[in-house]
Amino acid sequence: MTRNTILVVILTLVAGLAACTGQKSDPDKFRKGWTLAWEDDFNDETGLTAWSKISRGKQHMSRYMSDNDALYVLEDGLLVLRGVENIADGAEVPFLTGGITRPGVSRHSVSRIEVRARMNPVAGTIPFISLLPSVGTGNIAIDLMERYGYDEFLYQSVTSQYTTTEGMPDNPPSSALVSVNPTQFHTYGVETYPDSIVFFVDNNRTKKYPRILTDIPGQFPFNELDLNLFIGIRLNKDTDSTELPVDMFIDWVRYYEPETADTTK
């Protein structure tokens, strides 16, 4: 058997093994110090059974949300959320977008959440991955990823009464810019602790938002809330309808709990 023949045989065996295992491109789902509590890889068998579609609401993120099945596509082990122009006769809103939610972080809990996703850029569109209160409590959010139009960077941030109403977004700094190629898959993560929120991109730590001593209200409300995980696309008046549809591709979502009761970082 010649060297070239041997090489062909090896490559064929490797390709066949990968096809049989069905393993995705990020097999490293086990994180030191964490136990994988649940995951969703959006295969055709489970679909969206664990998720709820985000309903249309008055908030900016949900004003164009729709439960139309065409906005939720399951293919090749991915969930594709879509944003489209609303061409229906007498349409109440100019756009329709898809978004999903499920319970995320319980109050006082220590957790880690990761979402692997990519998007195709369109002007005036904002894909987002966020933790928001399960009940209405004002302007509160933990954004694992928020990206605008064609920007080759994204925002990771916390929003609260302290950062908005009280005008304190910089003490401590509440947001970070992270350079990414948005057309490629990246893993966006966050860890929640009683004293801090820690952000990650591709398992690289990007930012820590600490709890500080202050008499100004609302600086670290996150221990007092049950937070739901929201994933979706926002469109606005600047959206270029000629470039639509816009797609956000979700590979998987993973939720981790500490291996032990020790929450030391």
Domain locations in the chain as residue ranges: 35-258
Mean pLDDT computed over 184-193: 97
* Count of Cβ atoms closer than 10 Å to residue 119 Cβ: 22
- pLDDT value at residue 91: 87
Q: Tell me the percentage of the chain whose pLDDT exceeds 70.
A: 86
- Give every CB contact of residue 189 below 8 A, 6+ residues apart in sequence: 112, 113, 114, 115, 144, 199, 200, 201, 203
Candidates 2.60.120.200, 3.50.50.60, 2.140.10.10, 3.40.190.10; CATH matching 35-258: 2.60.120.200
- pLDDT value at residue 89: 86
pLDDT at residue 185 is higher than 80:
yes
- pLDDT value at residue 261: 56
Q: Among residues 127, 250, 109, 122, which one has the least CA distance to residue 191?
A: 109
* 3-state secondary structure labels for all residues of the chain: CCHHHHHHHHHHHHHHHHHHHCCCCCCCCCCCCEEEEEEECCCCCCCCCCCEECCCCCCHHHCCECCCHHHEEEECCEEEEEEEECCCCCCCCCEEECEEEEEEECCCCCEEEEEEEEECCCCCEEEEEEEEECCCCCCCEEEEEECCCCCCEEEEEEECCCCCCCCCCECCECEEEEECCCCCCEEEEEEEECCEEEEEECCEEEEEEECCCCCCCCCCHHHHCCEEEEEEEEECCCCCHHHCCEEEEEEEEEEEEECCCCCCC
- pLDDT value at residue 4: 46
Q: Tell me the percentage of the chain whose pLDDT exceeds 90.
A: 73
Mean pLDDT computed over 221-239: 92
pLDDT at residue 225 is higher than 90:
yes
Q: Among residues 59, 155, 51, 143, which one has the least CA distance to residue 99?
A: 51
pLDDT at residue 207 is higher than 50:
yes
**Range with the lowest mean pLDDT among 23-32, 117-126, 152-161, 199-208?**
23-32
pLDDT bucket at 11, cuts 50 / 70 / 90: very low
Cβ–Cβ < 8 Å for 81, 231 = yes
Residue listed under structure tokens 């948005």: 182
Q: Among residues 79, 77, 36, 103, which one has the least CA distance to residue 254?
A: 36
| pTM as predicted | 0.86
pLDDT at residue 72 is higher than 90:
yes
- pLDDT value at residue 21: 34
pLDDT bucket at 16, cuts 50 / 70 / 90: very low
pLDDT bucket at 62, cuts 50 / 70 / 90: confident
For residues 16 and 195, which has the higher predicted lDDT (pLDDT)? 195
- Tell me the per-residue pLDDT of 83-111, one tens digit each, with 9 for 90 and over: 999 998 888 999 999 999 999 999 999 99
Q: What is the mean pLDDT of the chain?
A: 87
- Tell me the per-residue pLDDT of 144-183, one tens digit each, with 9 for 90 and over: 999 999 999 999 999 999 999 999 999 999 999 999 998 8
For residues 265 and 211, which has the higher predicted lDDT (pLDDT)? 211
Question: Please, is 219 exposed, middle or buried when counting C-beta atoms within 10 Å of its C-beta (0-12, 13-18, 19+)?
Answer: buried
- Tell me the per-residue pLDDT of 23-42, one tens digit each, with 9 for 90 and over: 344 556 888 899 999 999 99
